[in-house]
Amino acid sequence: MRAVFFDLDGTLVELPEDFLGLFETALADHGIDADGEQCEFYTESFFEYLGECRDDPYRAAMADLRAEYGLDPSADALAETYVEREAEATTLESGVREALDALAAGESADSPAPDSPSGSEAAPVAADTALGVLTNGAARAQRRKLVHHDIAADFDAVVVSGDVGAGKPDSEIFAAAREAIPADEYVFVADDLERDVLPAQEAGFTGVYVGEDAGEGGENQSVATHRADFAVTSLREVPDLLG
């Protein structure tokens, strides 16, 4: 039995770059004309709570914002709107759907179908492969992103730092992943070498780094290519690694 875990932000989904615009839009839904100062206050508060692995850093940061600026809407209402707006603003990374479908079907993502005139049957992936998500963040927000992009049902387990009380690179969250899916072999696919891939390798996972720089050669070749167990430029390549 093999368990393949994926990081979420930056690996499965791309986060929006315009955080100020996201913040302003979320608060405008409640009739609040937000500005950069309020966004900076909220962001600092949010990341402080996120670093503490609070179960809902969105609500906690909105409660601080509400108290600091005398806002009328409840912290729950503000947080719920922000979480929804954030999920809507994310985009699915290239190759996600193909990789997940191939892993579920037990075949390569890039190989032709058996009846294709262009080639032979795809290289098989182990039929007893389970899929999971291993991510830092708030459970509600991270699961909302999976639902928004219609990939929640593809995973057998979703392990979130807000639920565990510890986040990557802490070994505790990797231990929680092992408990969520008992297996003989573990793989972690992520876009961050220092926070994700190397700690996963230390925890006994096969570390797969995914990034555009993985395919570069010579002096431009990423250090991740050498330090990770595997390095790929696209998630489409992951099923081939497991074949």
121-178 pLDDT, tens digit per residue, is 444 455 589 999 999 999 999 999 999 999 999 999 999 999 999 999 999 999 999 9
CB 215 within 8 A of CB 236: no
How high does pLDDT run on average in the chain? Answer: 89
Q: What is the mean pLDDT of residues 197-208?
A: 96
pLDDT higher than 70, residue 109? no
- DSSP, collapsed to helix, strand or coil, labels residue 35 as coil
Least confident piece of the model among 27-31, 95-99, 184-188, 216-220: 216-220
pLDDT 10s digits, 92-103: 999 999 999 999
Task: Work out the percent of the chain whose per-residue pLDDT is above 70.
Answer: 87
Least confident piece of the model among 23-32, 180-189, 205-214: 205-214
226 pLDDT tier (thresholds 50, 70, 90): confident
In angstroms, the CA 210 to CA 114 distance is 28
CB 64 within 8 A of CB 46: no
Assigned CATH for 2-14+91-241: 3.40.50.1000
How far is CA 38 from its chain centroid? 27
212 pLDDT tier (thresholds 50, 70, 90): confident
Burial class (CB in 10 A: 0-12, 13-18, 19+), 187: buried
222 pLDDT tier (thresholds 50, 70, 90): low
Vertex 43: Cα angle to 42 and 44 (nearest 5): 95
Task: Work out the percent of the chain whose per-residue pLDDT is above 90.
Answer: 79
Q: What is the pLDDT of residue 120?
A: 37
Q: What is the mean pLDDT of residues 46-67?
A: 94
Burial class (CB in 10 A: 0-12, 13-18, 19+), 191: buried
Q: Concatenate the DSSP letters of all residues of 171-203 into one string.
A: HHHHHHHHHHS--SEEEEEES-IIIIIHHHHHT
Q: What is the pLDDT of residue 223?
A: 62
